Copies of this chain bind each other. A is one copy, B any other.
Amino acid sequence: MDHFSIPNLFLVLALMLVAAKLLGELAERFGQPAVLGELIAGVMLGGSVLGIIPVDGTGADIIHALAELGVVLLLFEIGLETDLREMFRVGTASLSVAAVGVVLPFALGFAYWAYIPHAASSGSDLTMAAIFVGATLTATSVGITARVLSDLGQMNSEEAKIIIGAAIIDDVLGLVILTVVSGMAAGASVNALGVLRVLGVAVGFLVVAVLVGRFAAPRLFDLVVRMRVRYVLLVFAFAFALALSATAAAVGSALIIGAFAAGLILSGINQFDTIEHEIRPVASIFAPIFFVSVGASVNLRLLDPSSEGALGLLGIAGILTVLAIIGKLAAGWAAPWVQFRRLVVGVGMVPRGEVGLIFADIGRRAGILNEAVFGAILLTVMATTFVAPPGLKLLFNASPGRTKKT
C-alpha cells in the first residue's frame, strides 16, 4: 500500500510548481530559457536527489495524468499559435531548412547508435533504440526558439521568419516521426511497410482531422458562443482538445498529434482570440508539471563520477550533442537560392525541447531506451537548449544588419 492522500499530493504539486518557477527564473536570469530550469527542478525533486515526487502508487498515477494534461495543453497551445496559411506561405526556404534539419540529425543519431561502438548498451533491440535516438535529435523547439528571437527583438528579421517557419514544419515532421516511433514502441515491427502504415495513419489522421475540423469547428463554435454560461468557449475548446487527443490515440496515432490538430483547427475559428487568451493560464499551470515530471525521471546517480559508466554516459551525451548541433547548423545552408545569414538560421534551429523530451520519455516507458541512455539524451536536449540563446545573442550582436553574409 502506498500512503497516498490528497493533502500530500497537493503539497507535492505546490512544491513542483514553485521549484519550476524559481529555477525557471534563475535560468532566465542566466540568459537561458525557463524550460531548462523546470527540468532541473524536476531532477532535484526526483528520486535521485530529494525523492519528493512519488514514483509509484496512486500519487504517481495522478501526477502522470496531470503531466499528460500538461503536454496536451502545451501542444494544443502550439497548434493554436500555428497559422496554417503562414505555413503554406513561408515557402521553399523554410521547407528546405526543416527537411535538412530533420533528416540529417536523425541520420547522424541513427548511424552513431547503430554502427559505431559506444559505452552504453541500449536494451534488447539495437535498430529500434537507434531509431529512437535519431528521432530525439530531430525536432526544433518552436517555443524556445520563438521566445529567444522575441527576447532579442529580432522577430521581424528575415532569418527569424525562416527559422519560425522551419521550426513549425519541423514540429509537424517531428510529430509524424513521433507517431512512427510510438507505433514501434507499442510493438509494430520495424519494416518499410510498417513505417509507411504508421506514417499513413499519422498523416491521414492529421489531414482528415484538420479538413473535417476546419469545416465543422467554425459552425460548432458559432453555436457554442451563443450559450450564456460562463467560460463556455474555453471549456468546449479544452474538451475538444481532450476528445481529439483521445481519438488520435484510439486510431493508432499519438495523443499529442490530436492535441496539436485541435489547436490547428481552432486557430481558424472566429473565437480564436478568446480561446488562446483563456487557455494560456491553464497551460501555464500544467505544462510545468510535465517538464518537472520529465526531469524527475532522470537518475542523477548515473552521473556520479565514482559510479561505473558515468564517464561513458557523459561521453555519449557529448557526442549526441555535437551531432545534434552539426545537423541543425548544416540546415542553415539548405536553400542556397535564397539569401540570409546562414549561421543565424542554423543556430536558431539548434534548441530541442518539448518534443524531443516526449520522444525520449516514450522510449523509456516502452523499455526501448534504458535509464542510462535516457539520461544521456536528456543531457543532450538540455545542452542544445543551453547553447542556442547565447549563440544567437552573439551572432545578432556581431552582424546587426543584413550586411554580413556567413
Using CB atoms and an 8 Å cutoff, list the residues of chain A in contact with chain B: 6-11, 13-15, 17-18, 20-21, 24-25, 28-29, 34, 58, 61-62, 64-65, 68, 72, 227-232, 234-236, 238-240, 242-243, 245-246, 249-250, 255, 278-282, 284-285, 288
Closest CB of chain B to A45's CB: distance in Å?
13
Contact present for B25 and A245 (CB under 8 Å): no
Contact present for A65 and B231 (CB under 8 Å): no
Closest CB of chain B to A150's CB: distance in Å?
12
Contact present for A25 and B243 (CB under 8 Å): no
Contact present for A13 and B281 (CB under 8 Å): no
Contact present for B9 and A65 (CB under 8 Å): yes
Residues of B within 8 A of A62 (CB): 61-62, 65
* Copies held by the complex: 2
Contact present for A229 and B34 (CB under 8 Å): yes
Contact present for B243 and A10 (CB under 8 Å): yes
Contact present for B65 and A246 (CB under 8 Å): no
Q: How far is the CA of A281 from the CA of B232 in the complex (A)?
A: 10
Residues of B within 8 A of A229 (CB): 21, 24-25, 28, 34
Residues of B within 8 A of A72 (CB): 10
Residues of B within 8 A of A242 (CB): 10-11, 13-14, 17
Contact present for A17 and B228 (CB under 8 Å): no
Residues of B within 8 A of A246 (CB): 7-8, 10-11, 14
Contact present for A21 and B232 (CB under 8 Å): yes
Closest CB of chain B to A109's CB: distance in Å?
28
Q: How far is the CA of A94 from the CA of B5 in the complex (A)?
A: 38
Residues of B within 8 A of A236 (CB): 17-18, 21
Closest CB of chain B to A380's CB: distance in Å?
24
Q: How far is the CA of A228 from the CA of B33 in the complex (A)?
A: 11
Q: How far is the CA of A232 from the CA of B27 in the complex (A)?
A: 14
Residues of B within 8 A of A278 (CB): 281
Residues of B within 8 A of A64 (CB): 6
Contact present for B230 and A11 (CB under 8 Å): no
Q: How far is the CA of A14 from the CA of B241 in the complex (A)?
A: 8
